[in-house]
Copies of this chain bind each other. A is one copy, B any other.
Amino acid sequence: MDDVLIDCLQYANWSGKVFEEMRDAHIDAVHVTIAYHEGFRDTVLNLEKWHQYFQDYSDHIFQGFYAEDVRLAKETGRTSIFLGFQNPSPIEDDIRLLEVWQKLGIRFMQLTYNNQSLLASGCYEKQDTGLTRMGLEVVEEMNRLGMVIDMSHSGEKSTLQVIETSNRPVAITHANPSWWHSALRNKSDKVLKALSQTGGMIGFSLYPHHLKNGSLCSLEDFCGMICKTADMIGVENIGIGSDLCQDQPNSIVEWMRAGRWTKKIDYGEGSASNAGFPVMPDFYKDNTDFPNLQVGLKKLGMNNDDISKVMGGNWLRFFENSFTLKSK
């Protein structure tokens, strides 16, 4: 089978064990977050850690720069790791850092995390500014460089404006449809339609706060949502972005939410009584569960071609169209 398996968002507590599990599941590519709140220099330090992982675990993983690396990963029995940011903090106020990061292999950047950024509004803000002056510039520059604009955590107005403004397809790497489960982080029909009509992609998230019935969500329910979304916006524009935060301590989700922007506790999608990482659903505990989704889709009658698109084929096509090599 020539199918590729791609998970378009993870932020695990990285270890040899996690990389082995990626291999056990035959995942060919993973989009990995290396910045939530870090500025330029701190994100460089995070990249340095990845350079070390690529040296230490070269039998399991290597850095992906272009779509062809997904094929190379499959051929050589490894997982290609594509790096991205969930916040524009690593470019600070310097648009030229985008090209620096692009050369270092950064392939995805969210224009916002949950809050207002210099570029646009996060989905937790009361007012959505849409694209700021710098935001408009950054969209143009990311289009030029072949960096994917990711709107997973952004507000609706900002997201719709980016989809309209960008001359390359946009991604929502990890979220679910609001019609299935209402949450600030999930996306309206309007967004999903605008996204798919412009060749964009949504990666379905397994993070319990994005799931119907949360941690108790069933594989059948999750896969049913995928099938219905395929009917609604087409099977070409959907994939998986598990949002897997495997083996992370609760201090990490506290930091994801509060960064350095508040001195208080921010519960984000959680609550005082459920403040930590939510328990993952039974059918999705770690990377080895990735193939469960194939089984679940099959049981619901999705045909093999469509399953292969959802499990990685669509993301691969999107990578091919997005990560263009600059001509010299």
Contacts and interface: CB of A to CB of B under 8 A. Distances in A.
Contact of A99 (B51, B69, B94, B96): B51
Interface stretch (A41-49, A171-179, A181-189, A256-264): A41-49
Nearest to A144: B55
**Shortest beta-carbon contacts, A-B, top 7:** A48-B96, A62-B328, A51-B99, A103-B104, A44-B100, A72-B328, A51-B96
15 contacts: A40-B41, A40-B44, A47-B100, A48-B94, A48-B96, A51-B96, A51-B100, A52-B96, A62-B328, A69-B328, A100-B104, A103-B103, A103-B104, A103-B105, A104-B104
Interface residues of A, number: 20
Of listed A63, A94, A99, residue having the most chain B CB within 10 A: A99
Contacts of A103: 103-105
Nearest to A64: B328
A300 interface: no
A328 B78 CA distance: 10
A63 B326 CA distance: 11
A232 interface: no
Given A48-B99, A51-B99, A103-B104, 17 more contacts: A40-B44, A44-B97, A48-B94, A48-B96, A48-B97, A48-B100, A51-B96, A51-B100, A52-B96, A62-B328, A63-B328, A69-B328, A72-B328, A100-B104, A103-B103, A103-B105, A104-B104
